[in-house]
Chain A
Amino acid sequence: MAKEKICEFEQKIVKEFASQKANQELSVHAANCPNCREALKVAAWMQAFARAESQLPALPTSGFLWWKAQIIQKQTAAQRATQPLVWAQVIAFALAAAAFAGILIIIPEQFASVWKYFSESLELVAAPLLISFLCGGIIFLLLAYKSLEPFKKK
């Protein structure tokens, strides 16, 4: 790989030539320095490339971007404000689920006797009660799942 010889006048020369203010000394240097000649050639090409825009694109208005930024800021603030509530919902769900599991594990006998009581004495009511209980459980789980959505989006 060729050793990079960076000319200290390069930036100045490019700037002066671009503004057509190059003095005699710089012109002489540019003519004799291969790096500066190359820099001028590339600079001229780059400037022609920059000007070669076929059509000016339609940009969004500053008002639109300002409005969009305000909306995003409000959404972020609202999300930040409701975050403790979401956490509280998650904790409440976890505690309720743990309590329900505890009830089923710790007192299975009592649960069985309650079930027996229902099935024997309230045969007509037991089935609808069981169905309601299951539906309630499903709705509760769905609501809890929905409360986790803000976390999933992140």
Chain B
Amino acid sequence: MDESGFEKLYEKTARPLRSYVERITGSATLADDILQETFLRYLRAPLKVEDDAVKSYLYKIATNLVYDHFRQTKRASRWQILLRTQPEAEIVDDNFAGETEMMQVFRHLQPQERALLWLAYVEGYQHREIAATLNLSVMSIKVLLFRARRKLAQMLGD
């Protein structure tokens, strides 16, 4: 891929991808970091992805980076609790400072549920596309999406 090709791809995908990452992490700073790392990994990737699959591939990289972040945070929190270097309340999550009311609702979902709902209802991905992005089977996506949707619907009320 040449620089102009990358520029076009970036213009088309960067903003929605950043919104996706920001909504599932709840942190603008983290979203910026993950966005950069996603495109850097894409540019360094040895395999060539077909044009129509590029967007899905970028979302897949970003989702994996988000999961890695949550895994690391969880591990670090466990150590902090174990070592008692910080009060528990402070450890939980400080990413959501200054959040909107909608974000407050959304944060009650698990990161995977947030990703599922965003891909299905904002990006308009089909089940098989979500399955490819989240490394799950289509059947699992149907069930998980159903549960996530029900959970959010219950939180939203009637």
Contacts and interface: CB of A to CB of B under 8 A. Distances in A.
B153 A57 contact: no
B23 A49 contact: yes
A38 B153 contact: yes
A68 interface: yes
Nearest to B11: A62
Given A4-B147, A46-B121, A52-B102, A41 B156 contact: yes
Interface string A20-54: 00000000000000010011011101111110111
A18 interface: yes
B60 interface: no
Interface residues of B, number: 41
A116 interface: no
Interface in B92-115: 100, 102-103, 106
Contacts of B52: none
Given A4-B146, A65-B39, A69-B40, A49 B102 contact: yes
Contact of B19 (A42, A53, A62, A65): A53
Which 8 residue pairs are nearest across A and B when measured between Cβ atoms?
Answer: A69-B43, A62-B10, A46-B121, A43-B121, A62-B7, A50-B122, A4-B146, A49-B102
